[in-house]
C-alpha cells in the first residue's frame, strides 16, 4: 500500500519536459510510481487542475539562527521550498567557541539584520564543533537544510580578536584550514566568504573575512577539493567588477575544484551594461577552466534602510567611520552643519551604485516615529526639501534627529519597468546565472526577497510571460540541485526522494508584505504569505496542507558527501 497518492494533477517533472497528466505514488519517503497509479493509499490528495512538481530549492538563505525557534523555516516552506542552504556570506554560527559566540551574535544583528534580542533569547549558543551544531537540528525541521561553513566564524574561533584588523599568521592559516576540514567532514556543505564593503560587524569594522589575504581565501577554498559533495559561495563586492575581482573568483573555483556562486546580480533595464560587466566574471572564469555563476534576484528590490543599524549606508564613500560612533555621537555629528556637509559631500564622491544611493532627494520616508515626523511618511525627501526650501540632506537630517535616527528610508526602487522585466527573463535563462539571493532569514526589517519562488511563478510566468511554466520550475528545482550535487532530489523521478510541491498555476503568487511580530523576545519581521501553494511534501511527508503548516518535521539536515556529490570544474585541482 502507498503512503500517499496524488491524483489528477499535471506533472511538471523539473527537467524542462512538457507537462503531462499523471498520478504520483509515494511510499517510505520515495516516489514509487508516476503515471496511472491504481494501488491503494493511506491518504489520497486530489490535485485536479493543479501542478505537481519537485519541491523548490533555495541556495542562498540565512536560517542558521531561525532553525532554533522556527523549525518550519517560514516563509520559505509556505512558498513551496523543500530545501534551503544557509551559512552563506561567511556568516555561519558554527564552529563556535565561548568567546566567539558573543561576537558572532552581535555581528549577525548588524550585518544580517537579525534582532539581537531574538538571537540572545532564541539561540542556545552551546555547541563547539560544526557536527554538534548540525546534531541539534536533527528531527526539528520541516524542510531539508544544508549549512555552509562560514569564513568569519572560522577566523574568529581560530584568531580571536585578531580576526579583525590582522592577516593570519602561517600557523593560524593552518589551524583555519584544519578547522574548516573538520567542519566539512562533519557535514558542512561547503565554504562561504565575503569581501564586500557592505559587510561590517557590530563595531562598524569590516567583518573577519574582509581582513583575509588573497592567499588565505584561496587556501581555504582549496580545502573543499578534499571533501566529497562540497560547494563554494562568495561575495566579491559591489559592482562594477574589476579584473582582480574576476580573477579572484576564478582562482577560488579552480582551487576548490567546484563551481562558485556569488551574490548578487540585480536586473536593471536602465543599466544593462552593469549586468554585462558582472556576467563577464563567468566568461573569464570559463576561459580559465573555472565556473563562476551569478545569483540573480527574481524581482525588483524594495529596500528599507536606517541610520541606527547603518547596513548598506556604511558602505557609502567615507561613511564607515561615522557608523562606528554611538547613536548619540552620530546625532551630534549630523547636528553640526560642517560635519553634516562633509558627510554629504563624501557620499557623493563615491562610485557606481553607492554614489546613486546618495541621491537623498529620491529617498522615501517609509516609517517615522514621532508625532512631528509621522506627517512625512510616504513622501520623498525631495518633496519635503522643496516644501521647506532646504537642501535634501538637510531636510532628511532634521527628520532623523527628531526620530533618534530610527526613520526607515526607502531608496528609489528600480526594476519594475518593462525593460527590467524583459532583462530579468533573459537572465533567468542564461547559463551564467542561478535564480537565488532570497536572503530568507536575514534583513528581517529590510527586504522581502524571501518569496522568490512565488514571484517567479506569479509575476515572471503568469503576468509577464517571460518563460514557460516548465522552464521556470526547471530553474527552481533541477538547476540548483545539480549546482550543489544533491543526490536524488530536484526532479520527479521514480525511485527518487519525494520532495513535492502542489500549486495552482492560476493563482500562485506572493501576497502583500506586512510586519509580523513572531520572533523571540517579541521582535518583528517582514513577511508575505503565499498564494496558490496548496500542498508541500518533504521526504514523503506532508508539511503544508491546504496552505497551512502541519506538525510534521521530516526535513533532513543535509551532510556533504552523504547527501551531495562533487560537482567539479574542467581546470580544477585535486588537492
DSSP string computed for 349-408 = T--HHHHHHT-GGG-EEEE--STTTGGGTT-BHHHHHHHHT--HHHHHHHHHHHTTT--E
47, 327, 368 from 82: Cα distances, Å: 19, 41, 37
* Sign, Cα dihedral of 410, 414, 415, 418: positive
Q: How many residues does the chain have?
A: 575
Environment class of residue 125 by beta-carbon count within 10 Å: exposed (0-12), middle (13-18) or buried (19+)? middle
Q: Quickly count helices (H) and strands (E) in the chain.
A: 17, 24
Containing H/E element for 281? helix 272-287
Q: SS3 for 26? A: strand
- Residues 146-163 as b/e (b if ≥16 CB within 10 A, e otherwise) read bbbbbbbbbbbbbbeebb
Reply yes or no on whether the pLDDT at 461 is more than 60. yes
User: Cα–Cα distance between 148 and 50 in angstroms, integer?
Assistant: 35
What backbone torsions phi and psi does residue 344 show, to the nearest 5 degrees? -60, -40
Contact 94, 129 (CB under 8 A): yes
Reduce the DSSP state of residue 496 to 3 states and report it: coil
* Residue pLDDT, tens place only, 380-390: 999 999 999 99
pLDDT in the model for residue 156 = 98
C-alpha cell at 469: 511554466
Pull the grid cell for residue 119: 538571537
pLDDT higher than 90, residue 268: no
pLDDT at residue 414 tops 80: no
pLDDT digits (tens, 9 = 90+) for 131-173: 999 999 999 999 999 999 999 999 999 999 999 999 999 999 9
64-101 pLDDT, tens digit per residue, is 999 999 999 999 999 999 999 999 999 999 999 999 99
Q: Which domains does the chain have, with CATH numbers?
A: 56-302+414-515 (3.20.20.140), 313-410 (no CATH)
Q: What does the pLDDT average to over 36-45? A: 97
| pTM exceeding the 0.85 threshold for the entire prediction | yes
C-alpha to C-alpha distance for 429 and 390, rounded to whole angstroms? 47
What element of type H or E holds 252? helix 243-256
Q: Which has more pLDDT, 552 or 416?
A: 552
- pLDDT of 575 reads 53
Preceding amide of 240 cis, omega within 30 = yes
Question: In whole angstroms, what is the distance from residue 21 CA to residue 545 CA?
Answer: 22
Contact (CB, 8 A) for 556 and 147? no
Give the pLDDT confidence of 213-259 residue by residue, as tens digits: 999 999 999 999 999 999 999 999 889 999 999 999 999 999 999 99
The residue whose grid cell reads 580573477 is: 247
Strands 433-435 and 190-194 turn out to be unpaired
**What pLDDT does residue 351 have?**
72
Read off the pLDDT band of 3 (50, 70, 90). very high
Cβ 409 vs Cβ 305: under 8 Å: yes
Is residue 571 very low, low, confident or very high in pLDDT (cuts 50, 70, 90)? Answer: very high
Beta bridge partners, 265, equal: 296
> Residue 207: its pLDDT value, please?
98
- Mean pLDDT of the residues in the chain: 96
Q: Which helix (H) or strand (E) holds 332?
A: helix 327-335
Render pLDDT for 112-123 as a digit per residue (tens, 0 to 9): 999 999 999 999
Cβ-based neighbours of 498, under 8 Å, separated by 6 or more: 4, 26, 29, 30, 31, 537, 539, 540
Residue 42 has pLDDT above 60, yes or no: yes
pLDDT at residue 15 in the model: 98
Q: What is the pLDDT of residues 494-505, one digit of tens each?
A: 999 999 999 999
- What 8-state DSSP symbol labels residue 289? T
How far lies 339's CA from each of 313, 405, 406, in Å? 17, 16, 20
What H or E segment, with its residue span, contains residue 215? helix 214-223
Nearest to 372 by CA among 407, 337, 341, 340: 407
Joined together, the cell numbers standing for residue 217 give 581565501
- In the predicted structure, residue 574 carries a pLDDT above the cut 70: no
| Residue 538 clears pLDDT 70, i.e. is over it | yes
Instruction: Tell the burial category of 516 from Cβ atoms under 10 Å away from its Cβ (0-12, 13-18, 19+).
Output: middle
Q: Which of 239-253, 286-300, 393-407, 513-527 has the lowest mean pLDDT?
A: 513-527
Amino acid at each position: 500500500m502507498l503512503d500517499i497518492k496524488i491524483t489528477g494533477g499535471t506533472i511538471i517533472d523539473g527537467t524542462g519536459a512538457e507537462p503531462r497528466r499523471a498520478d504520483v505514488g509515494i511510499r517510505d519517503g520515495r516516489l514509487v510510481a508516476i503515471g496511472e497509479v491504481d494501488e491503494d493509499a493511506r491518504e489520497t490528495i486530489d490535485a485536479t487542475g493543479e501542478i505537481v512538481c519537485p519541491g523548490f530549492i533555495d541556495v542562498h538563505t540565512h536560517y542558521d539562527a531561525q532553525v532554533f525557534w522556527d523549525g518550519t523555516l517560514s516563509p520559505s516552506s509556505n512558498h513551496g521550498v523543500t530545501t534551503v542552504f544557509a551559512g552563506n556570506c561567511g556568516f555561519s554560527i558554527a564552529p563556535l567557541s565561548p568567546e566567539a559566540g558573543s561576537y558572532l551574535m552581535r555581528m549577525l544583528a548588524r550585518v544580517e539584520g537579525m534582532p539581537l534580542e531574538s538571537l540572545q533569547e532564541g539561540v542556545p549558543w552551546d555547541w563547539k564543533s560544526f557536527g554538534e551544531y548540525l546534531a541539534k537540528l536533527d528531527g526539528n525541521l520541516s524542510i531539508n537544510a544544508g549549512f555552509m561553513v562560514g569564513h568569519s566564524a572560522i577566523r574568529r574561533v581560530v584568531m580571536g580578536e585578531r580576526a579583525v584588523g590582522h592577516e593570519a599568521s602561517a600557523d593560524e592559516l593552518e589551524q583555519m584550514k584544519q578547522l574548516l576540514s573538520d567542519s566539512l567532514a562533519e557535514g558542512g556543505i561547503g565554504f562561504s566568504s565575503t569581501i564586500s564593503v557592505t559587510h561590517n560587524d557590530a563595531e562598524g569594522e569590516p567583518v573577519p573575512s574582509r581582513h583575509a589575504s588573497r592567499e588565505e581565501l584561496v587556501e581555504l577554498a582549496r580545502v573543499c577539493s578534499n571533501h566529497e559533495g562540497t560547494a563554494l559561495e562568495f561575495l566579491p563586492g559591489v559592482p562594477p567588477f574589476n579584473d582582480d575581482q574576476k580573477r579572484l573568483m576564478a582562482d577560488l573555483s579552480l582551487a576548490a575544484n567546484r563551481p562558485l556562486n556569488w551574490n548578487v546580480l540585480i536586473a536593471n533595464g536602465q543599466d544593462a551594461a552593469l549586468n554585462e560587466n558582472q556576467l563577464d566574471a563567468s566568461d573569464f572564469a570559463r576561459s580559465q577552466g573555472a565556473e563562476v555563476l551569478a545569483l540573480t534576484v527574481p524581482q525588483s528590490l524594495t529596500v528599507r534602510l536606517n541610520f541606527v543599524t547603518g547596513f548598506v549606508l556604511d558602505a557609502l564613500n567615507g561613511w564607515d567611520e561615522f557608523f562606528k560612533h554611538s547613536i548619540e555621537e552620530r546625532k551630534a555629528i549630523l547636528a553640526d552643519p560642517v560635519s553634516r556637509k562633509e558627510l554629504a559631500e563624501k557620499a557623493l564622491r563615491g562610485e557606481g551604485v553607492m554614489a546613486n544611493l546618495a541621491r537623498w532627494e529620491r529617498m522615501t520616508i517609509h516609517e517615522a516615529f514621532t508625532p512631528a515626523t509621522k506627517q512625512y511618511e510616504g513622501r520623498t525627501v525631495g518633496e519635503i526639501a522643496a516644501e521647506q526650501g532646504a537642501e535634501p540632506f538637510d531636510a532628511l537630517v532634521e527628520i532623523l534627529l527628531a526620530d533618534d535616527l530610527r526613520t526607515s528610508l526607502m531608496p528609489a526602487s528600480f526594476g519594475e519597468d518593462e525593460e527590467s522585466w524583459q532583462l530579468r527573463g533573459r537572465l533567468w535563462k542564461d547559463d551564467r546565472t542561478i535564480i537565488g539571493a532570497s536572503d530568507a532569514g536575514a534583513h528581517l526589517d529590510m527586504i522581502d526577497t524571501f518569496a522568490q519562488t512565488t514571484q517567479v511563478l506569479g509575476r515572471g510566468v503568469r503576468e509577464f510571460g517571460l518563460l514557460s511554466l516548465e522552464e521556470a520550475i526547471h530553474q527552481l528545482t533541477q538547476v540548483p540541485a545539480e549546482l550543489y550535487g544533491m543526490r536524488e532530489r530536484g526532479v520527479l523521478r521514480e525511485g527518487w526522494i519525494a520532495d513535492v510541491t502542489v500549486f495552482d498555476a492560476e493563482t500562485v503568487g506572493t501576497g502583500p508584505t506586512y510586519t509580523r511580530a513572531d520572533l523571540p523576545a517579541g521582535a518583528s519581521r517582514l513577511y508575505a504569505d503565499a498564494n496558490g501553494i496548496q500542498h508541500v511534501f518533504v521526504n514523503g511527508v506532508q508539511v503544508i496542507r491546504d496552505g497551512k503548516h502541519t506538525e510534521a518535521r521530516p526535513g533532513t539536515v543535509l551532510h556533504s558527501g552523504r547527501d551531495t556529490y562533487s560537482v567539479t570544474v574542467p581546470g580544477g585541482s585535486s588537492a
